[in-house]
Structure 1
Amino acid sequence: MKLGIGSGSTIVYAVERIVEKVKEENLKLICVPTSFQAEQLILDNNLTLGNLTTCPQLDCAIDGADEVDSNLNLIKGGGGCHTQEKIVASCASKLVIIADYKKDSIRLGEKYKKGIPIEVVPSAYTPVGERIKRTLGGEAHLRMAKQKAGPVVTDNGNFILDWHFPDTVTDWKQVNTEIKMMPGMKFALSFKSKEAFLK
Structure 2
Amino acid sequence: MTLVDINSLEPLADPLEQAKRAAAYMAVDQNVPKDAKFVGIGSGSTVVYAAERIGQLPNKDQFICIPTSFQSKQLIFDNDLKFGTIDQYLNVDITFDGADEVDSRLNCIKGGGACLFQEKLVASCSKKLVIIADYRKKSPRYLAENWRKGIPIEVVPIAWIKVKNDLINFGARSVQLRQGGTQKAGPVVTDNGNFIMDADFGVIDGDIKVLNDKIRGLVGVVETGLFVDMVEKAYFGNKDGSVTILFGENVEETI
Give the Cα separation in 2 of the matches to 1:168 and 1:10.
Answer: 25
Map of 1:41 onto structure 2: 75
Give the Cα separation in 2 of the matches to 1:148 and 1:158.
Answer: 15
CA contact (8 A) 1:141 1:162 kept: yes
Structure 2 length as normaliser, TM-score? 0.74
Identity percentage of aligned residues: 50
CA contact (8 A) 1:104 1:198 kept: no
Give the Cα separation in 1 of the matches to 2:51 and 2:204.
Answer: 38
Code of the aligned partner of 1:188 = T
Alignment RMSD, CA only? Answer: 1.3
Indicate whether 1:196 and 2:245 are aligned: no
* Structure 1 residue 168 displacement after superposition: 6.3
Map of 2:137 onto structure 1: 103
Give the Cα separation in 2 of the matches to 1:136 and 1:181.
Answer: 15
* Structure 1 residue 169 displacement after superposition: 5.1
Provide, for residues 43-101 of structure 1, a one-character-per-residue CA deviation record: whole Å limited to 9, x for no partner.
11110000012211111111000000111110000000100000000011111111122
* Structure 1 residue 15 displacement after superposition: 1.1
Distance 1:50 1:133, change over 3 A: same
Give the Cα separation in 1 of the matches to 2:158 and 2:113.
Answer: 21
Write out aligned runs for 1:22-37 (5 A): 24-25=58-59, 27-37=61-71
Distance 1:115 1:26, change over 3 A: closer
CA contact (8 A) 2:148 2:202 kept: no
Indicate whether 1:121 and 2:141 are aligned: no
CA contact (8 A) 2:144 2:204 kept: no
Map of 2:173 onto structure 1: 138
CA contact (8 A) 2:142 2:203 kept: no
Residue 157 (structure 1) aligned to one of 193, 217, 228: 193
* Structure 1 residue 27 displacement after superposition: 4.6
Q: For residue 223 of structure 2, give the secondary structure of its aligned residue in structure 1.
A: strand
Instruction: Compare CA radii of gyration and give the structure with the larger one.
Output: 2
Indicate whether 1:87 and 2:87 are aligned: no
Code of the aligned partner of 1:118 = I
Code of the aligned partner of 1:47 = L
Code of the aligned partner of 1:83 = F
Distance 1:126 1:26, change over 3 A: closer
Distance 1:167 1:47, change over 3 A: closer
Give the Cα separation in 2 of the matches to 1:143 and 1:153.
Answer: 9
Indicate whether 1:62 and 2:96 are aligned: yes
Map of 1:15 onto structure 2: 51
* Structure 1 residue 196 displacement after superposition: 2.5
Distance 1:100 1:14, change over 3 A: same
Alignment coverage as a number of residue pairs = 197
Give the Cα separation in 1 of the matches to 2:70 and 2:197.
Answer: 20
Distance 1:159 1:100, change over 3 A: same
Extract unaligned runs of 5+ from structure 1. none
* Structure 1 residue 138 displacement after superposition: 1.5
Give the Cα separation in 2 of the matches to 1:76 and 1:166.
Answer: 16
CA contact (8 A) 2:43 2:68 kept: yes
Structure 1 length as normaliser, TM-score? 0.95
Structure 1: 4+ residue segments shifted above 6 A:
none
Q: For residue 54 of structure 2, give the secondary structure of its aligned residue in structure 1.
A: helix
* Structure 1 residue 194 displacement after superposition: 2.6
